[in-house]
A and B are shown apart, each in its own frame.
Chain A
Amino acid sequence: MSAQRAEPPLGTAAREPVLEVRGVTKRFGALVVLRGIDLALRQGEVLGLVGDNGAGKSTLVKILCGFHQQDDGEVFVGGERIRFHSVEDARAHGIETVYQDLALIPQLPVYLNLFLGHELTTMGPLRFLDKREMRKLSRRYLDDINVNVPSVEAEAEQLSGGQRQAVAVARAVRAAPKILLLDEPLAAMGARESRLIIDLVKDLASSGRVSIIVIDHNYAHLFELCDRINVLQGGRITIDRPVHETSLEQLTELMVSSYRSQLEEISSDDA
């Protein structure tokens, strides 16, 4: 399977992007975080997004998932121009997100975490929870995507970090999204736990049904996971390379030189 990922799917470049971002900007008060982002995610592709802390990666993800709204610029999903007003809005367009801050509810069991926001209910307007059905579907579903937890009735608080992240990814994928956004899914995770998540994401990608954007700091992980890598620096995408056309060394070199030109730009702005 890893051999399969190393070779990008044929004709990737020619395919219509499922998600396209053009000139998106975002500021919080006086702080300009995004200065005109251009980005394209193609069908079935895994796109890695790297950049320093504060480069705006998480802000970009939070715009794409509807949590923040951009100040300027456009977002296209499947060729259609869309402005998201809420998380539900983005979700309705097939975009699911796994956040950096582990969005599970510690006090709720795994199966309710999986269904949170789309709970199954009975008895019409009384909205009683259909716990039995949710437990059953959760067990089957977690088995299908090879996620192991002690029990779907265990509270999220009782799981290990890797198990919790796996459940968070499983929750996002459960809705059968067209686009999956993973914001530092491997942060603060040991080697074995990272492996769990990497395998899970690779499995999902190889199904070809979902296109994925992954944010991470670890280049080795990204080179293993991604078809293409974009570098975010100073609120812009500065580098866009397919993984098979670049190497870790080359990418680092590109980043440094791009930094240098940015610094020059800033000092000439000051002058």
Chain B
Amino acid sequence: MSLGRRLLRLFVYQRELTPIVITIGLFVYFVIRAGSTFTDSLSLSSAAGYAGPISAIAVGEVLLLVLAEIDLSAGQVFLFAAWVEYWLHNLGLPVALAILVSLAVCCGVGAINGLITVRLNVPSFVTTLATNFILFGLVLIYSNDAEASPIPLSASKGFSSDLMGAWLWSEILWVAAITIIGHALLTRTRFGVRIVATGGNLVGAAEAGVPIRRVKVWAFVLCSFLSGLVGIVDAVKYGSLDPGNFGVDYILYAIGACVIGGTALTGGRGTVIGAFIGAILIGVLEDGLTLIGVSTNDFYVWVGVVIIFAMALNVQFDRVIARSRGR
């Protein structure tokens, strides 16, 4: 096999490679253009700050995209979790308990998303679009349109506040850990195989005895849980909550990151690590363009270009696999 064919094979089967190469390319480009200001820890942590929320949401979203489902509410769950924690803490609950209850509420939202989708046969696009609006409305109602500050733990010092987001790097480390666990879950566990099977051939998986509905509901629960978890960390990091923040902003970047990372929206194929790298790519792009003094408006154009490029490439890669049939 020639070197070219071998390289093509490698990129076709390791979908994460393309975004890795592009991210490294962008990184080198920004280092050349902006020099050491790009590589100092403030700049890198701000790139990580952009990438953190996106990738946390993207990891859960990949599981749903592989199932040929989607969760548009995950971005709003990300914001909602911190609000619930804040409210519970104000009601007198200790921080740890407030966090746990908030995460349980997030799991509940995921369960509702999943159950409405599989029991009432409402497409998940619609179910989660609706829960997204409901959660946004609840935040506006119960916050009385006022910002919340400080968030529990954000004003204090010590290990638990550092762990939960106060330290500069804690959010991205949470996300890295979630990515590794998510990757192992999708590629090495029974649950992961059943996700691929359900998304790849729904009827076939059911006929083989895979409990397709249960698999879907658990994936929705997991997606909400992960979004809520990192949402709380993110709120501690910034120390305040703005009720006007709209979750759709986050979810669209997260889906973009999944696509850039090599996940198709047709089900059966997807990579968690790719989604993480897709989010890093978006973070590097946003931070780098800001630093070299390009208007933030240009950033949106670039994100769009990268998403289209990534998807077109993926479709071509799928055709390469299809052509190799029977050999």
Contact = CB atoms under 8 A, between A and B. Distances in A.
A complexed with B: yes
Interface of A: 67, 87-88, 91, 97, 99, 101-108, 112, 116-119, 121, 126-129, 131, 150, 155, 157-160, 163, 171
Nearest to A131: B188
A261 B153 CA distance: 84
A53 to B, nearest CB: 19
A119 B207 contact: no
B190 A103 contact: no
B157 interface: no
A119 B200 contact: no
B188 A116 contact: no
5 contacts: A107-B269, A117-B208, A118-B209, A119-B190, A129-B192
B207 to A, nearest CB: 5
A116 B210 contact: yes
Nearest to B270: A107
B203 A116 contact: no
A108 B208 CA distance: 13
Contacts of B209: 87-88, 91, 116-118
Nearest to B206: A87
On chain B, which size bracket covers the interface?
20 to 34
A160 B205 CA distance: 20
B193 interface: yes
Contacts of A157: 321-322, 325
Given A107-B200, A150-B327, A158-B326, A127 B208 contact: no
A105 B196 contact: yes
A74 B210 CA distance: 27
Contacts of A116: 193, 197, 205, 208-210
A126 B322 CA distance: 34
B204 A105 contact: yes
B193 A159 contact: no
A107 B268 contact: yes
A128 B200 CA distance: 20
Interface of B: 188-193, 196-197, 200-201, 203-210, 268-269, 321-322, 324-327
A159 B325 contact: yes
B193 A103 contact: no
A105 B189 contact: no
Contact of A104 (B191, B192, B201, B326): B201
Contacts of A163: 326
B196 A129 contact: no
A155 B318 CA distance: 13
B326 A160 contact: yes
A159 B322 CA distance: 10
A158 B200 contact: no
A129 B204 contact: no
Nearest to B204: A103
Nearest to B207: A103
Q: Name the residue among B188, B201, B210, B269 with the largest chain A CB count within 10 angstroms.
A: B201
Contacts of A112: 193
Contact of A108 (B200, B321, B327): B200
A69 to B, nearest CB: 15
A74 to B, nearest CB: 24
Given A117-B210, A128-B189, A158 B201 contact: no
B325 A105 contact: no
Contacts of A91: 209
B207 A127 contact: no
A9 B210 CA distance: 37
Nearest to B66: A107
B193 A128 contact: no
B167 to A, nearest CB: 29
Nearest to A168: B204
Nearest to A97: B207
A67 B209 CA distance: 10
A103 B203 contact: yes
